[in-house]
Structure formats: structure tokens, C-alpha cells
Structure 1
Amino acid sequence: MKNLQNKQLSKCPTGIHGLDEITGGGLPKGRPTLICGSAGCGKTLLSVEFLVQGATKYGEPGILMTFEETASEITENVTSLGWDLAQLIEEKKLAIDHVHSQLILLKQPA
């Protein structure tokens, strides 16, 4: 039987103060990470900071797909934190894609 006790999962540092420490080095490298939670818990903020830190500290471009807020709304919302998303987009270090979906309920015939 193999000794799996010392096997380490390769990590991607987030650059987010405290998060890399509590996750043992960051998020799993080369794997998708689902961030979930209720409205207002900070999912978008965490995601944007991860992308900003990746672009500015590690030279890693990123893509943010949104389903509620537009790119201009997100850009405006994080300006007070000192993040210039418009500049990162212009430098092709960040792309934000707003996917608009609309649920249409059809009335059943009587």
C-alpha cells in the first residue's frame, strides 16, 4: 500500500492576505474551484481579488464570468478598494463577461 500521508496537492497562491496561509498555499492548481454562498457573502469580491492579485503579482491573466452584475458595475464597485479593473482589461490581463439569462415562464393552456 502506498504512503499517501506526505503527498502534497500542488497549490496556486491567491495573493489574498490570510487565505493562502489557511489553505496551505492557496487553491488547488489546475483544478476548478467553486465558490458558493448566499447573496452578499463575498463571492464576487473574493473572485475579483483573486484575479487582480493574479494579474498584478503573478502575471496571470484571468476571466470573470458574471450572471448578475455587468463589467462596468463590478469595475465601479471595486474602485474604492484601489483596483483599476478597466486598466487590467485594457492591458489584456483581465476579461469580464456578463452572461445575461432570463427565465421565461410559459402559461400552460387551459
Structure 2
Amino acid sequence: SVVGVSGNAGQCNYSASKAGMIGLAKSIAKEMGPRGIRANAIAPGFIITDMTDKLPDEVKEGWYKQIPLRRGGTPEDVAKVALFLASDLSSYVSGQVIHCCGAMNC
């Protein structure tokens, strides 16, 4: 989640756990890189899921106004980033956090 990078009021525990995952990915990249193993993290922003779909429309609209692309992401948006990272197209990408957030919190 992008809050692992930027933090978020009222979500200290959630932000800390996501920041820990980022640190883990970066450490694995350095430790396992000599063996040809890459590690990266994907930091999604507001993603439209069954959980977020239950939010009131005015809450969702408030989120969309904070996102420069003016929409929530989809699971497919995140999956495309994962596909890129799993492909040879990213063979020299390691230890990175890829934000999939419509420029939210950038």
C-alpha cells in the first residue's frame, strides 16, 4: 500500500506493517541479488474491490478527488504491474517499490 511509504493518520499499525514489507523486499533484493533473485514491492493506492465498493458514494468521490487520475484503480491495474515484474521486461529491476496509485501520494 502507498501508506507504507507515506503513512496515514489513524492507520499507524497498517502503515508500519506495509513499511515492513517494503523493507523486507529491499533487503531480500540485496541479499539474494547475487543469486539472481529479484525482489520488489507493489504499492497500490485506492483499488476498487468488493470491500471499497461498499463505501458510500460520497466517500468514494472524496477519494477520487484526491487521485490525480480521478478514479480508483482496479485489481487488473495491479496485476499488470505484477506481470511486468514477473516478466523479462523487468530483468534489471530489483529492490524497488512500484506505486500503482494514479499518482495518489506521490
Taking structure 1 as the reference length, the TM-score comes to: 0.30
Taking structure 2 as the reference length, the TM-score comes to: 0.31
Q: Which has the higher contact order (CA 8 A, sep 6+)?
A: 2
Higher strand share: 1
